[in-house]
Amino acid sequence: MAKIICITNQKGGVGKTTTAVNVSYYLAKSKFRVLLIDIDPQGNSTSGLGIDKSTLKKSMTELMVDQASFSEIIVKTKYKNLDLAPTTPELSNAEVEMTKLDSRFTILKKRLKFIQDSYDYIIIDSPPSLSLLTVNAMISSNFLLLPVQTEFYALEGVAQLLESMKLVKKVNPDLKLLGVVATMFDRRTSLSTRVLAEIQKYFKSKVFETVIPRNVRIAEAPSHAVPVGDYDHFSKGARAYRDLTKEIIERTKGQK
């Protein structure tokens, strides 16, 4: 049965999507069967893997209001072992519709049951909010992975996120914090170093050893609609995501 990892942080621009796309890519490269679920109406994971949203008949937008199943929406990517459940911008309207459903908190979990055996890892890229979509993602997951940007205000909102996690654990006792990954680290600035130390002090052993550097190749890759590992395999950014993926495989080994 798939290990389900929700990548979350209600702050925008901290590296959620970048982490989701690149970890999914390297897990698939390591021969795991991977499904990346894009549950952010911005759809950056969808476009980041080269899927044209205008060609989609059904997507997470329909699935989240009970009008599609995963088998109807999953698309293959150009990478072996890597599938995508894409989204469209209309998912934000669907979220309003969802509030009327009895199953509004558990719809994703229910749908996942049908496909969980077909994958080794399911990665969920969530929106920058603690909305109904994010709660659905958390309720469906075994693990949370929290990217934190090594910038000022990095830990702002983290207490609130951990509070939501506590609430979700009442309905999903399985949920664990897999780890915290420091992103966009710039070793030339003392601020980055100071914030990294602060993150380590707060989360201790939960912080992954791999730190994701600020790297221009990572920023360029989405404009070519590919993961950085495909864009420039030898870049520092690609190497960092490869190392992070190894740590994720280690940490999830033998756990469910």
Ligand X SMILES: Nc1ncnc2c1ncn2[C@@H]1O[C@H](COP(=O)(O)OP(=O)(O)O)[C@@H](O)[C@H]1O
Q: Which positions touch ligand X (CB under 6 A)?
A: 12-18, 44, 128, 183-184, 212, 214-215, 218-219, 222, 237
99 vs 234 by CB, closer to ligand X: 234
Question: How far apart are CB 8 and Mg ion at their closest, in Å?
Answer: 10
Distance CA 116, CA 29 (A): 20
Please state the closest distance from residue 234 (CB atom) to Mg ion, in A.
Answer: 25
> Between 28 and 228, whose beta carbon lies closer to ligand X?
228
* Three-state DSSP class for residue 115: coil
Q: How far is the CB of 130 from ligand X (least distance, A)?
A: 14
> Which residue from 3, 11, 16, 109 is in contact with Mg ion, where contact means CB under 5 A?
16
17 binds Mg ion (CB under 5 A): yes
C-alpha distances (whole Å) from 118 to each of 2, 106, 177 are 7, 20, 24
Query: Under a CB-based contact definition with an 8 Å cutoff, are residues 144 and 8 in contact?
Result: yes
Provide, rounded to whole angstroms, the least separation between the CB of residue 175 and ligand X.
20
Select the residue whose beta carbon is closest to Mg ion and give its number: 17
94 binds, among Mg ion, ligand X, none (CB under 5 to 8 A by kind): none
Q: Cα(112)–Cα(192) distance, rounded to whole angstroms?
A: 38
Partner whose footprint covers residue 149, from Mg ion, ligand X, none (CB < 5 to 8 Å by kind): none
- 17 or 136, CB closer to ligand X? 17
The helix or strand, by DSSP H or E, that contains position 124, with its residue range, turns out to be strand 121-125
Torsion region of 76: left, alpha or beta (phi above 0 gives left; psi -120 to 50 gives alpha): beta
Q: Contact between 47 and Mg ion (CB under 5 A)?
A: no
Nearest C-alpha neighbor of 30 from the set 248, 208, 256: 248
Choose from ligand X, Mg ion, none: what does 89 bind? Cβ within 5-8 Å by kind.
Answer: none
Q: Which helix (H) or strand (E) holds 34?
A: strand 34-38
